[in-house]
Structure 1
Amino acid sequence: MGTAGRRLLPLWLPVLLLAFVVVPAGADPAPPSTPRTVLNDVHTDVLHVAYADGRLDVRTRVGDGQLVDTGTVLVQVFDTEAARPAVPDVPEYAFLGEAGAPIWVAPEVQEPSLVWPGFSTEGVPAGVLAGDEVRVNLRGVRGPGRVEVFASGPVGEPLRYLSSTDAEYASHAWPVHSHAHANWVFTALGRYVLTFELTATRADGTPVSSGPVDVTWYVGGTSAADIPVAPTTTTLSVPASSAHGSPVTLAANVSPADADGWIEFLDGTAVLGHAAAPAGSLTVSELPSGQHQLSARFVPRFTTDFAASSAATVPHTVTGGTVAPTPSYPTPTPSSVTPSPTPPGSTAPATAGPSPRASSPACVPSTGTSGVVLSSGHVDLAVRLESGRLATRVKDGTGSGAAQWRMPSEVVLHLGDAARTTVPAGPFDFLGGQGATVWQVPQTQKAGVPWLGWNTEELTAAQVTGPVTWKLTGVDGPGTAAVFEYDSFGQPKVIFNSGDGLPDVRDVAVGTHAHGNWAFTKAGAYRLTFSHTATLASGAASTSTGVVTVAVGNTDPRTLLTRTSTGCGAGGAGGNGKLPKTGAALSGVIGGGAALVLAGAALVALSSRHRLSSRHRLPSWLRHAAGRLSARRRRSAA
C-alpha cells in the first residue's frame, strides 16, 4: 500500500466497521401477500394426481388445463337456489341429514353458474402402481359443518365416496388414468379446510404418499367479493432498554391462532427480519446506541384469508457505546406475484420421411377390417382444432400410455352383458319405464363397460368464442338412443333422446370434460351422427361431424368395423399403384391371355374413337397393341 493509501486508512475504516454494526444479519422482509385463486363457476379437478420420480404429485387443474398449487386455491360454493337444495325425503339420502334440511352442493353434473369440482388420476400411467389405483384419504375437516362426497350410480342410487363423520367412508380408491366427478355436500355455511392424503403402493411393493394436501373451501355468497377476510390483531413485547452490544429479543403474537403468514419486525421503517405467524420472535444484536421505535406487523400469506395488522410501537433505548446516526435501512418493496405455472404444451408428433423403396412380394388381393373395438376404459367424444378448423374425434384413453386420438369411423364401442340393466322407478318413460331392459354406459365408471364422456378440453377461449354447440342429428338403430345425466339426487336430466325426434342440441362450454348415461333400448347396431359447431376467434363459424358406432348386446362389434380391400392397384400390397407409361415397361407385363384381354379392350376403344375429341385420343402404345391384335386376327382368318 502506498503513502496515500496509508493516510486514508483512518478515514474509511470506522465507516466500514459502523456499516457492519448497524445492519443486522438476516434483515430480509417477509414474502409478499397474494390472493388465492378463487374457483366458483368453472370446471376444476380439485385433486389432479400425477406420478413422477417415484412419488405422487398433487395439484389443482383449472378450466383450460392450467395446473396450480392446490394450497393456493379457494373453492367457493355459492349460496344460491341452484346450489342449496333440501335433503330429499328418501331413505337412501338419510346420510345427508334430516329430510328437508338445507344443504349446499357443488354438483356432480355441470351447472353453468356453479363450480364443477372433480378428481383426476390421468397423470398416473397404468402398470406403475399395484392394482392400478390411487387411494384418496380424507384425513380431516375443519369447518362449521359436515362434508359428504357421493355420486349417482347406474340407476340413480347414491354411491358414497368420502365422509367427514363416517369412518367407513374415510377413503376411496380411484383407478389410475381416470377422471371423475361427484357431489360435494356441505351442511353449513362458512369456511372449510379439507385435508387429504393420496396413497398408493408401487408395483415393487414400496408405499408412496403425497403427504397432507389442504384444500380450502368457502360456502356462501354469490361472488368472490363475498368471501370474508378474517380480522387480525398483532401485539409486540420488547424490553424497555438494553446495553450496547447485548442481544435484544422482539416477540410478537397474532390472533386468531390460525392466522397464516409472517410477522415482520421493524426499527422505525427499516425491516429487521421476520418470523412465521402466529407467534414468532427475532433476536437482534448490535443495535446502535440511542433511541429506537420497534414495531411488528402481520403479513398474511393470502389476502383472501386474513387482514394485515400492526402492533403498537414500543420505545427501546440502547445505552452505552457511541451514539451513531439514525440508521437508514432500505424500505423493501413487495415483489410481484409469481404467475402460476402452466403445463407444457403438447408437441406435434414427428412426421417420418420417405423410406427407401424395397422390392415387394407378389400382390395377393384380400379383404379385411380396420379400426378398433373399445369395450372398457375411458373414452371421450371430443372436439379440437386441426388445421384451424373444428374436428370431431374419439379420444381413446383405454390404453396404458397417452390417449390416442382417432377418427370416429375407426372406432366401434361395444356394450355387452356388463352394460345390461333394468330401468328403475321414476320418470324414465323415455327408456320404456320401470322394469324395462336397457344397455347403458353409466355416469360413473363401471368395469367391463366403455366409460364414454364428452370433451372440449382441447379448445381454449383464445381459439373459440362462446360455447360449442353439440348436436345429435340422427340415429340409425333398432331402438331408442338417449343421453342423460342424473342430478344430485338421482333424477334424470335428458340431453339427447332419439325417441321424441331429432335433432337435439346441447351447448358445451370450452374446457369441459363430462360424463353422463348413454342408454340403448334394444340390442343391435347403432350409428349416432353428431356435429360440433363453434365460432372461431377469427369470427368464422366452423362445423365438424362424426358418426359414433355402437354394438349393443350380442351384436358382434367386429362386423361393424370398416371393411377394407387390399388389391394390386393404388394402395394395394406389392405396388405403388402407378401404371407404367412406356411400351418397354409394358412388355414385361403383357403376355399370353393378359395381352389379348388388354388389346381387345383397346380394339373396342378404337372402334368408337371417332366419338373422341382430340384431347381424349388413345396413347400411341395402346393403338399399336390394338393394331398388332387386328393383324393377328386377319392372319388367323386367312
Structure 2
Amino acid sequence: MKVKIVSVWNSAKPSMPTPARRRSLGGALAAAGVLVALLGTAAVPVSAAPGVPAPPSRARTVLNDVHTDLLFVDYADGHLGVRTRIGNGDEATFADPADVLVQLFDTDTSRLAVPDLPDYAFLGAPGEPMWMAPEIQDYALVWPGWSTEGVTPGTDVGFQLREVRGPGRVEVFASGPVGEPLRYFSSTDPAYRGREWPAMTHAHANWVFTALGRYTLTFEVTATPPGGTPVSSGPVELTWYVGGTSTADIPAATTSTILAPPPATSAAGTPIALTATVAPDGAAGWVEFLDGDTVLGSEPVAAGAAAFTVTGLTAGEHQLSARFVPTYTTDFTPSAAPAAAHRVIGGTASAPPSSSPSSSAAPSSSAAPSSSPTPSRTASPEATTTRPATSAAAPRTSSCAPTTRTSGVVISAGHADLAARMEGGRLVTRIKDGTGGGAPVWRAPADVVFHLGDAATSTVPVGPFDFLGGQGATVWQVPQTQKPGVPWLGWNTEEAGQSGGPVTWKLTGVDGPGTVAVFEYDAFGQPKIVFNSKDGLPDGLDVPLGTHAHGNWAFTKPGAYRLSFSHTLAGVTTTSVVTFAVGGTDPRSLLPRTTSTGCTDGRLPRTGTALAPLIATGAAMIAAGGVLVAVTYRRRRTT
C-alpha cells in the first residue's frame, strides 16, 4: 500500500503556503501517520514470536602452511583493533582471531629435542621433545608473527600474555644479533608475560610447545599514544592445535548434553524453568530448548550450563528436550539430551506452544577498525639542470653560481625490504620503504642509502663465525630481529607476481673496504649463510614467490659499500646497486647529486638556449628593415 502526499502542493507556487494550505497539509500528514501506524501494527503479530534458534555452527579458518600475523594491530585516533592477517602483500586477507585455528604440524622439521645448551634451559631438560613453529620461514609449516604496521607512528603497542590453557608449556623467543635467545613470552615465567613494540614493527619468533594437543593463548593488546593513556583491546584468544599433518587431523571434542528433569505437570500459564548442562567444561556454543521439533528458544553456554524459561505451552502432552550447537565445528561436536515428558493441565489445547523471547541473540560481527592512512616520506625533489647563457658580445659581469643538490633518502632505522616486483608488466628491483608510517614507498635502489651507525656494532661470539672474522671481531650488522636505531632490511617477493617463480636472487659484487655476509640464524643461534663475499662471488638464493623474510647483514669494516644484486624471474633479469654507509661515513655524501647553475646579469634571468645571439640578430634585422623603408620612401617622393 502506498501513501501519496503530494496533491496539496501540485498547484502551489514556490511561496509560503496559506493557512488553508497548511491545514490541508497537516490533515494529509495526519492521515499518512495513521496509515503508517496501521501498517506498522500489521507487521507485528499479536501472538508471541516463535523461539529464536541458535546461530548456525561454523568451521574455523585453519592456518597450517602460510604466513600469518596472528595479532595485526590497527590504531588511529583513539580506535584500537586487533585482527589476524593471512598471507602476504596485496593478496593478504583478514580474519577475526576468534575465527582462526593455527595448526602446527607434527613432522620431522617441527618436532625437535631441547638442545644441551645453557642458554636454552628455559625450554626444558636436554633431549626432551618439543614442537616449534620457527622464526625463519619453513614453507611446509605455519609462519606466525605479529605486526604494528597499522599503528599511528609514535604510538607504543604493548602485548600481554594473560593466560595459556593447554597440555604443555609455551615459550616464544627469537634470535638476537649474535644468535642469543631473546625471550618474549612464557606460560610459566612471569618475567616474560609482556613486551612493547613501536609502530611499524613486523616481527616473527619461534613458537615452542612442549606437548601435542590444543592450546588457547589469551593476549591483551594496548596502544599508548604520545602523552596519552593506554587503550585496551580486551582479551584476544588465539587457538592452536599441535599435531597431525593435515586439517582433517584436527579432532573436535565430543560433547554431551543433559537436561535437568522438568516437573511432570504444570498448570496452564505457569512458567517452566529449563536447565541444560554441557560437558566438557569450556564447550563454547549455544543450547536450543525444544518442544518436540519446535524450537522454544536458545541461550549461550556459560560455565557449562544454559537456562531458559518457557511460558504459554498449550494444554496437553509435550516432549521437552535440549541440544548443544557448537560455535565452531572444528572445536566441539553437537549433542542432544533425551526428551522429557511434560503435561500442561487446563487452558486451551488449540493454541500453539510459545516461549518467552530468548534473552540472548546471536552476536553480530562488526568490522575491525582500520588504521587511518598517514603521510609517507618522499624523496627530496630532483634539481633541474640549466645551461649558462653565452654571448658573442663583450663579456659582462655575471652572478652565475653553480648549485649542487642531493636527492634520495637515508634510512637509518625502521623496516625496509629489497624487493623484486612487477611494474607495468616488467620485473624491477625496488626498496620497499616502510619507515615513514602509512603506505610504504617504493624507491629505486639508487635513491637510497642505508646507514649503519654505532647502534649496529656487535662483537662476533664463540662459534662457527670465521666468515665474520672470528671470535671477538667487531662487525656492523643489520640484525635478523628489529633493533632500535638500526635499519631492519629484509628481502621480499610479495609483489613479483603469482606464477613463474622462484626468483633467483644473487649478490654479484661488493665494492667496499671489507667483506659482506648475509646470513640467518636457526632456532638455536647457528648461522646459515646466504651470501658471503669473503669466499668469492656470485652467491645465489632461490626465493619463492610471496616471500617476506629477514636475516643478518654484516660488514667487517667501516666505510662506503656498494652491493651489486640481480633478480631473475622466468628468464628475465634485473640488476641494482644498493649503497651502505657503515660506521662514521657520512651517508648523505653517498646520495645522488645533481648540479644546476642559476645565472643573472642584472637584467632578465636566462636558462637553456642563449638569448644574446637572438637579440643581436633581431636588432640587425630591425635596422635593415628601417633602412629599406627609408630608401623606398625617398624613391617614391622623387618619382
TM range (shorter): 0.7 to 0.9
Give matches, 1:201-600, under 5 Å. 201-237=224-260, 238-277=262-301, 278-324=304-350, 364-458=401-495, 461=498, 464-534=499-569, 542-567=572-597, 587-588=614-615
Per-residue displacement from partner, 1:567-604 (whole Å, max 9, x unpaired)?
579xxxx7785x59xxx996237799xx9xxxxxxxxx
Q: Is 1:195 matched with 2:218?
A: yes
Distance, in Å, in 1 between the alignment partners of 2:116 and 2:97 is: 36
Q: Is 1:29 matched with 2:53?
A: yes
From 160, 163, 166, the counterpart of 2:183: 160
- Contact in 2 for aligned 1:411/1:561 (Cα 8 Å): yes
Q: What residue identity is the alignment partner of 2:114?
A: V
The structural deviation recorded for 1:565 is: 2.1
Q: What residue identity is the alignment partner of 2:201?
A: S
Q: What residue identity is the alignment partner of 1:102?
A: P
Distance, in Å, in 2 between the alignment partners of 1:107 and 1:340 is: 31
Aligned residues: 543
Match of 1:9 in 2: none
Distance, in Å, in 1 between the alignment partners of 2:559 and 2:166 is: 52
Distance, in Å, in 2 between the alignment partners of 1:377 and 1:296 is: 56
Per-residue displacement from partner, 1:292-325 (whole Å, max 9, x unpaired)?
2222111111111001111112222222222227
> CA distance change for structure 1 residues 197 and 326 in 2, over 3 Å: closer, same or farther?
closer
Give the gaps of 5 or more residues in structure 1. Answer: 1-15, 330-334, 350-360, 536-540, 596-620, 625-638
Per-residue displacement from partner, 1:210-239 (whole Å, max 9, x unpaired)?
111111111111121111110000111332
Match of 2:139 in 1: 112
The structural deviation recorded for 1:413 is: 0.7
- Contact in 1 for aligned 2:409/2:449 (Cα 8 Å): yes
> CA distance change for structure 1 residues 26 and 546 in 2, over 3 Å: closer, same or farther?
farther
Could you say what secondary structure the match of 2:168 adopts? coil
Could you say what secondary structure the match of 2:113 adopts? coil
Q: Is 1:98 matched with 2:125?
A: yes
Distance, in Å, in 2 between the alignment partners of 1:57 and 1:95 is: 33
The structural deviation recorded for 1:416 is: 2.0
> CA distance change for structure 1 residues 363 and 168 in 2, over 3 Å: closer, same or farther?
same
Give the gaps of 5 or more residues in structure 2. Answer: 1-41, 356-361, 377-387, 389-398, 600-604, 625-639
Q: What residue identity is the alignment partner of 1:282?
A: F
Give matches, 1:3-42, under 5 Å. 20-21=46-47, 24-25=48-49, 27-42=51-66
Per-residue displacement from partner, 1:153-186 (whole Å, max 9, x unpaired)?
1110111111111111111111221111111111
- Contact in 2 for aligned 1:68/1:340 (Cα 8 Å): no
Distance, in Å, in 1 between the alignment partners of 2:65 and 2:606 is: 58
- Contact in 1 for aligned 2:374/2:439 (Cα 8 Å): no
The structural deviation recorded for 1:249 is: 2.4
> CA distance change for structure 1 residues 414 and 292 in 2, over 3 Å: closer, same or farther?
same
Give matches, 1:32-111, under 5 Å. 32-64=56-88, 65-111=92-138
Could you say what secondary structure the match of 2:106 adopts? coil
Per-residue displacement from partner, 1:486-508 (whole Å, max 9, x unpaired)?
01100011112223333333233
- Contact in 2 for aligned 1:67/1:340 (Cα 8 Å): no
The structural deviation recorded for 1:406 is: 1.3
Could you say what secondary structure the match of 1:103 adopts? strand
> CA distance change for structure 1 residues 38 and 340 in 2, over 3 Å: closer, same or farther?
farther
TM-score, normalised to structure 2's length? 0.78
Distance, in Å, in 2 between the alignment partners of 1:268 and 1:283 is: 16
> CA distance change for structure 1 residues 230 and 407 in 2, over 3 Å: closer, same or farther?
same
TM-score, normalised to structure 1's length? 0.78
- Contact in 2 for aligned 1:156/1:490 (Cα 8 Å): yes
Percent identity over paired residues: 64
Q: What residue identity is the alignment partner of 2:219?
A: F
- Contact in 1 for aligned 2:506/2:538 (Cα 8 Å): yes
Q: What residue identity is the alignment partner of 2:258?
A: T
> CA distance change for structure 1 residues 339 and 545 in 2, over 3 Å: closer, same or farther?
farther
Could you say what secondary structure the match of 2:446 adopts? helix
> CA distance change for structure 1 residues 259 and 35 in 2, over 3 Å: closer, same or farther?
same
> CA distance change for structure 1 residues 347 and 374 in 2, over 3 Å: closer, same or farther?
closer
Match of 1:121 in 2: 148
> CA distance change for structure 1 residues 276 and 381 in 2, over 3 Å: closer, same or farther?
same
Distance, in Å, in 1 between the alignment partners of 2:306 and 2:106 is: 38
Per-residue displacement from partner, 1:255-299 (whole Å, max 9, x unpaired)?
112100111122222222110113112212111222222221111
Q: What residue identity is the alignment partner of 1:182?
A: A
Distance, in Å, in 2 between the alignment partners of 1:206 and 1:387 is: 45
The structural deviation recorded for 1:458 is: 4.0
From 132, 139, 148, the counterpart of 2:162: 139
- Contact in 1 for aligned 2:69/2:84 (Cα 8 Å): yes
Match of 1:610 in 2: none
The structural deviation recorded for 1:372 is: 1.4
The structural deviation recorded for 1:107 is: 0.9
- Contact in 1 for aligned 2:287/2:325 (Cα 8 Å): yes
Distance, in Å, in 1 between the alignment partners of 2:186 and 2:335 is: 37
The structural deviation recorded for 1:479 is: 2.6
- Contact in 1 for aligned 2:74/2:370 (Cα 8 Å): no
- Contact in 2 for aligned 1:66/1:343 (Cα 8 Å): no
The structural deviation recorded for 1:120 is: 0.7
The structural deviation recorded for 1:483 is: 1.0
Q: Which has the larger displacement, 199-208 or 94-103?
A: 199-208
> CA distance change for structure 1 residues 341 and 168 in 2, over 3 Å: closer, same or farther?
closer
Distance, in Å, in 2 between the alignment partners of 1:545 and 1:99 is: 47
Distance, in Å, in 2 between the alignment partners of 1:407 and 1:365 is: 27
Q: RMSD of aligned C-alpha atoms?
A: 3.5
- Contact in 2 for aligned 1:66/1:341 (Cα 8 Å): no
Distance, in Å, in 1 between the alignment partners of 2:277 and 2:512 is: 72
Q: What residue identity is the alignment partner of 1:456?
A: T
> CA distance change for structure 1 residues 409 and 452 in 2, over 3 Å: closer, same or farther?
same
> CA distance change for structure 1 residues 465 and 339 in 2, over 3 Å: closer, same or farther?
farther
